[in-house]
Chain A
Amino acid sequence: MENNQNMPPKPNNYMVLAILSTIFCCIATGIASIIYASKVNEHYARGEYEAAQTASKNAKMWGLIGIGAAALIWIVYFVFFGLAIFGSLANAGNY
């Protein structure tokens, strides 16, 4: 039985990434990330440091997938539509 005094500090649960990914991208990756974040806390609270670390890695991965997908959607969208819109604005010259 380990006790918390001898434990290394809690691995990051990447809740910030999870929340950002939930707001700006996809509910699925956000929720996956939040679930792994809660696993980090639960494993750590039970003294299972290795399991907490694995959950931390998964939380980070899903958070980053969410942010990455959001960035990708934005860039692709902007390249296709944004340029066309700016082009027409510039041509119309309406101020």
Chain B
Amino acid sequence: MLETIKKPIVLIGLGVLSLVAVLLYFSFNPENGLLFPKCPVHRYMGVYCSGCGSQRAIHDLLHLRIGDAISHNMLLLPALFVLIQHGLVKTKVLKSKSFLNYRYAPIIVLIIVLLFMFLRNLKMYPFVYLAP
């Protein structure tokens, strides 16, 4: 079932790439560097998308600053949690069902992503905290 297992080269490549990415995101702060590309949606359309701030959030997470990570992108942590749980189920480490395999999972993700994108662009009091 797990297609990627059949392609060890792809898997090793992805592993090396992620390692390089983790090292880069650990060593450099995307906040004050030119090293990382800015979000194209924010750059060209002027709005925050649901992924905006995730690079900074990854940097924060790698330095164990959970609060900063949440303030830069509230959805990154839950997203990572869901992806890791999915990975653990797929590799049979966990016996439970992957959250992503539920019938309404895509719809729920869609609603959360769109709602988050809408709310974080509001320039009103409680919602300004959602902006990256």
Contacts and interface: CB of A to CB of B under 8 A. Distances in A.
Interface of A: 9, 13, 15-16, 18-20, 22-27, 30-31, 34-35, 37-38, 40-42, 45, 73-74, 77-78, 81-82, 85
B25 to A, nearest CB: 12
B51 A41 contact: no
Contact of A23 (B1, B37, B54, B107): B54
A15 B51 contact: no
A74 B110 contact: no
Contacts of A23: 50-51, 54, 75-76, 79
Contact of B113 (A16, A30, A38, A45): A30
7 contacts: A13-B106, A15-B105, A18-B109, A23-B75, A34-B106, A82-B35, A85-B33
A22 B51 contact: yes
Nearest to B100: A15
Interface of B: 1, 33-37, 40-41, 49-51, 54, 75-76, 79, 82-83, 86, 100, 103-107, 109-110, 113-114, 117
B88 to A, nearest CB: 13
A21 to B, nearest CB: 9
Given A19-B82, A19-B83, A82-B35, A24 B54 contact: yes
A23 B57 CA distance: 11
Chain A interface, DSSP helix/strand/loop, else mixed:
helix
A16 B86 contact: yes
Contacts of A38: 104, 106-107, 110
Contact of B103 (A45, A77, A85): A45
Contact of B37 (A20, A42, A73): A73
B117 A27 contact: yes
Contacts of A82: 35
